[in-house]
Amino acid sequence: MNFPVRLAFRHVFSNKTRNGLTILAITIAVFLLCFLLAVVRGIDAGVRSASSTRLVTQSAVSLFVTLPMSYRPKIDAQEAVTVASEFRWFGGYYQDPSNFFPQFAVNKDRFVDMYVKDFEIIEGPNGITGPGARDAVKKAFATEKRAAIIGMGLRDDEKYNFQIGDTVPIIPAIYQRADGGAWDYVIVGIFKPLKARIPDKIMYFRSDYLNDSIESGEAFGEVAAGVYYVNIDQGSQAEMIATSIDQDFLNGPQRTQTVTEAAFASFFVSAIGNLPLFLGTVGGAVLFSIFFSVVNAMLIAGRQRLKEAGILQALGFPPITSCLLLIIEGLAVALIGGALGLALAISTQDLVVLNFGDSIRNYEIDSGLILLAIGTSSVLGITAGLCAGIPFLRYRPTEALRSLG
Amino acid sequence: MSQDSYIQLKSVSKKYSRGGEDLIVLDQLDLNIPDGDYAALMGPSGSGKTTILNLVGGLDVPDSGTVTVAETEVSSIPTRQLPAWRARHVGFVFQSFNLLPVLTAHENVMLPLQLTPLSAAERKKQADFALEIVGLSDRAGHRPSQLSGGQEQRVAIARAIATDPDVIIADEPTGDLDRNSADEILELLNRLNEELGKTILMVTHDPAAASNARRILKLDKGHLVSDEINRQASGQTQGEA
Ligand SMILES: Nc1ncnc2c1ncn2[C@@H]1O[C@H](COP(=O)(O)OP(=O)(O)O)[C@@H](O)[C@H]1O
Ligand SMILES: [Mg+2]
C-alpha cells in the first residue's frame, strides 16, 4: 500500500473511539437514508402505477362524505366512460383487529371488467385457473350475493389461508349487524396484482350485499356508494370528462369532484400528512446533522495533525500531503460507515417487507440506492476531509515546529 | 561562491511583526560554514538560532540577504519548490524527536525516502542501512512509544540521513535527553561528520555538546559575536575536510 493511504489508515485505526463513533453515526445515517428513500419510492411507485385512464369521482365536500347509489347510471351515460363502479370502504377485520386488510364494497356487474389491466384472476370456482378464470369469477360474483374476490396474499398468508369456496367471517368496524355478529363472505375468485398500487391482501365484495342488509334492517348504516371509480377510453381527455361529470351533479343532491386515479392516489398519500415529503425531510435532516458531526470529527483530527504537517513539510513533503491524508481519512471513515449502513439496510430488507410489507409495497434496496448510498458517503467523507485539509495548503511548517516542537 | 563556504548567509535580515511591533531577529548577519564542517551554534534563548536553521533548511525565507547551501541560493527558490529541495539536500533533527507516533521506527525512516525516485526495494535497503548506522536494526518494528528518548532520537537521525542529504540540521538534539543518551547522540553525530562526511549545523545550549563540534558560533541579539575553531575536536580529525 502506498504511503499516504497507509498513514491515513493508521490514523483511522489509531483514533478508535472518535472514528468508531463517527463510523457508527454514518452507519445509522446511511441506513436511515436507504430505508426512508426505499419507503418513499415504494409509495411513489404506487402513485405512479395508478391508471391515467381511470377517474375517481368523490364528494366535493370531503372524502368521508359518501355519494348516492343513483349516480352510477348517470356517470355511465357519459361519453368516453367505459365502465364505472362504486367503491366503499368497509374497514372490518378477520378474527382479531390486528388481522386488518382493506375491504371494499363494489358493483357486482362492473367491478371485474374494471380491473382487467390491474390484476390477473388466477383462481376461480371449481378449481378453474388460467384464461377462463376471469369469466367464471365474473359470473360467480354476479350470482352469489355474499361473493368476494381476494388478492393472493390472503390465500398465501398462513394467518388467513382463504381458499376458493371458503366462507370467511369479517367483523365490522363501521357497519354493525343487528345480530351483533360478523359478515360472512364466500370466496369466489383470487387475483394476482399487476400494479404496485394494488396490495395483494385486499378483498372486494358486493355493494348490494351491504346496502340491502342496511335497508332490511339487518345492519346499521346508510345506503350509499362511497366514491366511484370510472374507466374512460384510452386517449380521451381525462380533464374534460372529469369536468363534464362534475357539471352533471352541480345541482345536487351531492356536488362531486372528479380527479384522475393518480391524483386521487397522491391525495390519499398527502391525506396522511404528505408522507414522502415528511420522510424526505427527516432523511435530509439526518444527513445534514451527520454531515456536521463528520466535519467536526475531521476538524478535530486536523488540529491533531498540526505537528505531523510540520514534520512532513520539514522532510520535504509538499503542503498538499496533509490535506490529502485528511481527505483519505475522511473518505475511509465515511465509506466504512456507509458500507456498514448499506449492509444493515440490505440485511434487514426481508424483515422490513415482512413487517411493513402491506403499507410499503415495493420496498427494495436496489442498485440505484446502493450507488446513492456509496456516492453520498464518498461526498460526505471527501467534503469533511477537505474542510479539515484545506487550511494545511497555506500552512507554514515553522509555526507547527515552533509551537509544538 | 568561495569553495570552502558550503553554507553561506550573506547580510541576512529577518524580522517578525508581533502585535504591530517589528521584532528584528537577524540583522545583516553573515555566516560561513565550509563543506564537511561540524558547527555548533550557541546563544541565549530567543537570539535567533532556530531562525537561522529554518533559513538554512529552506523552511523559511529571509527578508533580505541571501542564503546559499551547496552552491544553491536557497533564498531564491520559489516557495512551491522548496519542499523538493529540502527532501534532497537537508536532514532535520529536532529537540523533541518529532517521529510520527502512528508509524514504526522503520516506517518513520522510510518517510523521506517516499519522495525519492528509488524503487521500493532500494528504499527499504536505504532505511535498513540508516537504522543499522544508528544501531537500531533490532527495533525497526517498534512504535516511538515503545522506544526510549535516546532511541527515538537515533531513529530521528536515521530518518534525517536516510536520503543521504548533504547537510544535517539539528536543533538542540540533546535538549530532551539524559547525559548518557545525549552522549550517544553526540557520538553518532561525530560519526556522521567524520565517517560519512556530512556537514552538520547544530544548535545547542550544552557546552559538552558544543565541545564535540569543530567550530563554535555564538549568537547574541541577531549578531554573530564569536566564530571559533574548536581545537579539541578539530584536532582529532585534522585534514579530513
Ligand atoms: N513566527 C514568529 N512570529 C513572531 N515571532 C517569532 C516567530 N518566530 C520566532 N519569533 C521570535 O524570534 C525570536 C528568535 O526566535 P528563535 O530563532 O526561535 O530563537 P532561539 O532559537 O535562538 O531561541 C524570538 O524572540 C521568537 O519569539
Ligand atoms: Mg530555538
Give me the pLDDT at residue A345, please: 93
Q: Does B86 touch chain A (CB under 8 A)?
A: yes
Give me the pLDDT at residue B14, please: 95
Chain B interface disruption, residue of A2, A308, A315, most B CBs within 10 A: A315
pLDDT along chain B (241 residues), means of 10: 76 90 93 95 94 95 95 93 93 95 96 93 96 96 96 97 95 94 95 94 94 95 90 54 37
Among the partner residues B87, B94, B100, nearest to A316 by beta-carbon distance: B87
Which ligand number lies closest to the CA of residue B47? Answer: 1
Give me the pLDDT at residue B2, please: 45
A314 Cβ contact list (under 8 Å, min separation 6)? A397, A401, B57, B59, B86, B92, B98
pTM score of the predicted model = 0.71
CA-CA distance, A315 to B209, in Å (whole number)? 25
* Neighbour-count burial for A239-276, b at 16+ CB within 10 Å, e otherwise: eebbebbbeebeeeebebbbbbbbbbbbeebeeeeeeb
A58 Cβ contact list (under 8 Å, min separation 6)? A67, A227, A228, A256, A257, A258, A259, A264
CA-CA distance, A381 to A295, in Å (whole number)? 8
pLDDT tens over chain A, length 405 residues: 578 889 999 999 988 999 999 999 999 999 998 888 888 777 766 665 666 788 888 888 777 788 999 898 888 888 888 888 999 999 889 998 888 899 999 999 989 988 888 888 999 998 888 888 889 999 999 999 999 999 999 999 998 999 999 999 999 988 999 999 999 999 999 999 887 777 889 999 999 999 999 999 999 999 988 999 998 887 777 788 888 889 888 887 888 888 888 777 666 555 545 666 777 788 888 888 889 989 999 999 999 999 999 999 999 999 999 999 999 999 999 999 999 999 999 999 888 877 765 556 567 888 988 999 999 999 999 999 999 999 999 888 887 777 554
Give me the pLDDT at residue A248, please: 86
Q: Does B114 touch chain A (CB under 8 A)?
A: yes
Give me the pLDDT at residue B1, please: 43
For chain B, the distance separating the N- and C-terminal CA atoms, rounded to the nearest angstrom, is 18
CA-CA distance, B111 to B123, in Å (whole number)? 10
- Bridge partners (DSSP) of residue A149 are A189, A204
With a 6 Å cutoff on the Cβ, whether B49 touches ligand 1 is yes
Q: Which atom belonging to ligand 1 lies closest to the Cα atom of B44? A: 22
Among the partner residues A316, A404, A405, nearest to B83 by beta-carbon distance: A316
CA-CA distance, B125 to B137, in Å (whole number)? 12
- Bridge partners (DSSP) of residue B41 are B203, B217
Question: At B117, is the secondary structure helix, strand, or coil?
Answer: coil
String of DSSP letters for A209-268 = HHHHHHHTTSB-S----BEEEEEE-TTS-HHHHHHHHHHHTTTSSS-EEEEEHHHHHHHH
A96 Cβ contact list (under 8 Å, min separation 6)? none
- A313 chain-B contacts, CB cut-off 8 A: 59, 83
Give me the pLDDT at residue B143, please: 97
Q: Are A169 and A156 a contacting pair, CB within 8 Å?
A: no
Enumerate residues with CB within 5 Å of ligand 2 (an ion): B 50
CA distance A329 to chain B (A): 14
Give me the pLDDT at residue A266, please: 66
Give me the pLDDT at residue B124, please: 96
Question: At B188, is the secondary structure helix, strand, or coil?
Answer: helix
Which ligand number lies closest to the CA of residue A403? Answer: 1
For residue B125, give the amino acid letter: K
> pLDDT by residue (tens digit) across A118-138?
888 999 998 888 888 889 999
B195 Cβ contact list (under 8 Å, min separation 6)? none
With a 6 Å cutoff on the Cβ, whether B126 touches ligand 1 is no
- Bridge partners (DSSP) of residue B218 are B42, B226
CA-CA distance, A337 to A329, in Å (whole number)? 12
Give me the pLDDT at residue A338, please: 95
With a 6 Å cutoff on the Cβ, whether B75 touches ligand 1 is no
- State the residue for C-alpha cell 504537517: A309
**For chain B, how many residues are written?**
241
Pocket test for ligand 1, best of B16, B220, B224 (most atoms within 8 A of CB): B16
Give me the pLDDT at residue B237, please: 46
Q: What cell was used for A228?
A: 366511484
Give me the pLDDT at residue A46, please: 62
Hey, are the CB atoms on B110 and A3 less than 8 Å from each other?
Answer: yes
Give me the pLDDT at residue A340, please: 96
What are the CA-CA distances from residue A328 to residues A23, A26, A117, A304 (Å)? 14, 16, 53, 16
Among the partner residues A11, A313, A316, nearest to B102 by beta-carbon distance: A11
Q: Which among A173, A202, A168 has a CA at the least distance from the CA of A185?
A: A168
Q: Which domains does chain B have, with CATH numbers?
A: 36-58+83-234 (3.40.50.300)
